[in-house]
Structure 1
Amino acid sequence: MAAKKTVSTRIDEEWFSAIEQICRETGQDFADWLRDAIALKLGSESPQQARALVERVEALEKKLQGLAGLLTR
């Protein structure tokens, strides 16, 4: 496995809040979300990203099924 480096930066409060909200809604870790965003910008996808995407899609499918059940009552 390649060595990992730590990156530190400042972002606007608005961006920070938006990322926090996305992480709450998807259940994704803040650092994982940032790594995914960087990988997307660089045009690469790791196995962890693919797995996280599948998990998010599955979670959304469950939510949609629940909503569909409410609509058919």
Structure 2
Amino acid sequence: MPRRTSTPGWSHLSIHQTAVSAKRVIAAYYGKGPTYSYFHGGSAGGRQAMTEAKRYGGAGAAALGPG
């Protein structure tokens, strides 16, 4: 029986929306958004970093041994 999920392909949105929200908070507090943006991750975090960079770009990503 195939595995079913209620939200297929949406898991990447949590990482992206967190980054977008954090940049808004920074802009509200400091009066301007961040100049640079980085994502660092290893294993599953490396896979998330690669997915974020591939889908949305605009950020530096260090993917260490994506699994």
* Structure 1 and Structure 2 fold alike (TM over 0.5): no
Higher helix share: 1
Please give the TM-score of this superposition, normalised by the length of structure 2. 0.33
| Larger relative contact order (Cα-Cα within 8 Å, sequence gap ≥ 6) | 2
Please give the TM-score of this superposition, normalised by the length of structure 1. 0.31
Higher strand share: 2
Which of 1 and 2 has greater Rg? 1
